[in-house]
Amino acid sequence: MSTLSKAAAGVPPLMTLFLQYGISLLVFVPPAARAGRAGLKTEHFWLQLFRSVAGSVCQLLFFMAVRSTPLLDSVLLSNAAPLFIPLVVYGWFGKTVRTPVWLSLTIGLAGIVLIIKPGPRMFQNPASLLALTAGFFSALALVATNKLTETEPPTRILFYNFGLSTLLLTPLFAWAWMPLTARQWLLLVGVGVSYALTQYLIIRAYRYASAAELSPFNYTVVIFSGLLGWWFFGNVPDALAVVGTVLICGGGILSIVAGHSEGHGHAFGNGHWRLHWKLFDHKAAESL
């Protein structure tokens, strides 16, 4: 998805964002319809809305950042959410930050410094800061998603996420509209389908393992992004970037393992959940 969005560099980020959610909504309409009105009724509308807004801001900032930074850097920084999650959990739930988590934050911060290389250039081209801010909004979306899973099944969460985001982005999409080529339309459809497929695979994976077991595998996105960035865009990281990548991934994984359960999950705003299967309709799972 990240590679396709970077390849669609001439498309306004708002159009990319709208079509990502709009296509995903169309994909998930059938299982939502099978769930029926009762299956979609939520008692946490405002939390659903907050989760959708935070996730949309995360994705928009990422689409803006990936245009002018190497694919590896933008994906890595936007996946720094586990480093923000302990602070979000502290501010939201008042839970203290444990000593191993402070260690993980320190390791991750060192890696971030090596990636963004603070200095005057950073403010001349703030793309790296945008990607890092995307990671913060991703952390907000993730904690909200994990809170929702205490009472809400995945089908409902996804339907509201895609539906509310699409609704809120419709006027912005109309404002940012521009004619696109056939190649650009194909890339945007690929972005939407890839995003929807991500959600499908996440739900399937969590039927077999816990969030704590699966979350470290989220950082394979960094490996794939590095390979795709090199293959399609000729981005070759320098030695400092490699060291920074290892530190951020290591700090993120340590934060996930040592942190509170509210912070378990996927970092890119897509929403990995510690699903409470006793509250989950298995027929709905099979429909996905």
Over the chain, what is the mean pLDDT? 82
pLDDT value at residue 33: 85
115: pLDDT strictly greater than 70: yes
Per-residue pLDDT tens for 16-44? Answer: 999 999 999 998 888 888 888 888 889 89
Angle, helices 127-148 vs 71-78, to 10°: value is 40
Q: What is the mean pLDDT of residues 192-202?
A: 84
Selected residue with higher pLDDT from 193 and 204: 193
Per-residue pLDDT tens for 120-172? Answer: 666 667 888 899 999 999 889 888 888 887 888 888 888 899 999 999 999 99
What is the spatial distance between Cα 244 and Cα 222, in angstroms, rounded to a whole number?
Answer: 12
The answer to whether residues 74 and 131 touch, using CB atoms and an 8 Å cutoff, is: yes
pLDDT value at residue 280: 37
Q: How many CB atoms lie within 10 A of CB 224?
A: 14
78: pLDDT strictly greater than 90: no
268: pLDDT strictly greater than 60: no
pLDDT value at residue 267: 34
What is the spatial distance between Cα 142 and Cα 147, in angstroms, rounded to a whole number?
Answer: 9
Non-local CB neighbours of 91 within 8 Å, separated by 6+ positions: none
Q: How many CB atoms lie within 10 A of CB 250?
A: 15
**Size (the chain), residues:** 288
Band (pLDDT 50/70/90 cuts) for residue 186 is very high
Lowest mean pLDDT, pick from 23-32, 111-120, 234-243: 111-120
What is the spatial distance between Cα 52 and Cα 29, in angstroms, rounded to a whole number?
Answer: 17
Burial label for 158, CB within 10 Å (0-12, 13-18, 19+), is buried
174: pLDDT strictly greater than 60: yes
Selected residue with higher pLDDT from 184 and 118: 184
pLDDT value at residue 171: 96
Does the model's pTM come out above 0.85? no
Per-residue pLDDT tens for 83-105? Answer: 888 888 888 888 887 788 888 88
What is the spatial distance between Cα 267 and Cα 134, in angstroms, rounded to a whole number?
Answer: 10
Q: What is the mean pLDDT of residues 182-198?
A: 92
What is the spatial distance between Cα 9 and Cα 64, in angstroms, rounded to a whole number?
Answer: 9
Q: How would DSSP label each residue in the chain? A: -HHHHHHTTTS-HHHHHHHHHHHHHHHHHHHHHHHHHHHH--S-HHHHHHHHHHHHHHHHHHHHHHTTS-HHHHHHHHT-HHHHHHHHHHHHH-PPPPHHHHHHHHHHHHHHHHHH--SHHHHHSTHHHHHHHHHHHHHHHHHHHHHHTTT--HHHHHHHHHHHHHHHHHHHHHHH-----HHHHHHHHHHHHHHHHHHHHHHHHTTTS-HHHHGGGGGHHHHHHHHHHHHHH-----HHHHHHHHHHHHHHHHHHHHS-GGG-S-SSSS------GGGS-HHHHHH-
271: pLDDT strictly greater than 50: no
pLDDT value at residue 153: 82
pLDDT value at residue 121: 66
Non-local CB neighbours of 264 within 8 Å, separated by 6+ positions: 146, 210, 211, 212, 215, 256, 272, 274
pLDDT value at residue 12: 93
Q: What is the mean pLDDT of residues 267-278?
A: 36
The answer to whether residues 67 and 127 touch, using CB atoms and an 8 Å cutoff, is: yes
Selected residue with higher pLDDT from 200 and 45: 45
pLDDT value at residue 221: 83
pLDDT value at residue 170: 96
